[in-house]
Amino acid sequence: MSILRICLLSAGILLTEVTPVVYAADADTLNTVLAARSDEDKARDGARQPLETLNFFQVKPGMTIAEALPGGGWYTRILANYLGPQGTLYGVNYPDSLWALLSYASPEFIAKRIASTKDFAAKVATFTDNGITAEGFTFDTVPTRVEGTVDRVLLIRALHNLNRFQPEAGTRAQALAATHAMLKNDGLVGVVQHRAPASADEEWASGSRGYLSQPAVIAMFEEAGFALIAQSEINANPMDQPSGEDSVWRLAPSLRSNIDDEQSEAMAAIGESDRMTLLFSKSSE
């Protein structure tokens, strides 16, 4: 049993639900960072719960954090300012080869995604001038010097494509192996992922619709050498009840479905997806 797991149990904290404020390392700093963001970024806080989520993941200033699939930078803007000048932030993208597997990916889209990896540090520099160390790489190009140095790996809405292309390209197994290698021995992995209904079958919940089964996610991490130490409902949305041909991209912020105005309003009223929030340690030993 891990030291962290023993501490949680001895403190009387249930492993199925952890009150986020228990681990707030610097709530004042995080609240200041969150308050300083744009109104556009703040508008999504109700669906994404950044204060509660980062507290739950026990993210502290000065840490070394690997953020998977940083994308447009919504969480990157928070992390870069919160970690501060003593912190390090890695932006970890999919392997370059994965982008071409997406049916909608144009050559321009692929080129832009590949370029975003090497441009990560420059992008972070536009979010803060606090001197934080930043670097971008992919799951299959993790520098050897990074291995064993990372405090937290954050996989926020980043697992579905890794799982979707596991059968043909081994993407999930490779990414989780890289995650395991990056982490310090006492490092943790924080997961936020679109959650499939319990009634969904394995094929529907493979990731092609954006959703994954929560038990399946836990199982894939345990198989990769991690142990579940806590889970939370802070990012849950019971209004999201997908079925049939539904995909997560029918909802905000994408609203990509070919639907009429009335249906679009209905999707907007649901909000963002129902999401699992899980915390794993590097080893169950």
Tell me the per-residue pLDDT of 233-263, one tens digit each, with 9 for 90 and over: 999 999 999 999 999 999 988 887 666 777 8
Task: Look up the CATH number of domain 3-281.
Answer: 3.40.50.150
| Predicted local confidence at residue 265, as pLDDT | 87
Which residues, given as ranges, of the chain have pLDDT below 50?
1-24, 284
Q: Is 74 helix (H, G, I), strand (E, B) or coil?
A: helix
| Predicted local confidence at residue 16, as pLDDT | 46
| Predicted local confidence at residue 170, as pLDDT | 98
| Predicted local confidence at residue 248, as pLDDT | 96
0.85 exceeded by pTM: yes
Q: DSSP readout, 159-213?
A: HHHHHHTHHHH-HHHHHHHHHHHHEEEEEEEEEEEEB--TT--TTTTBSTTS-B-
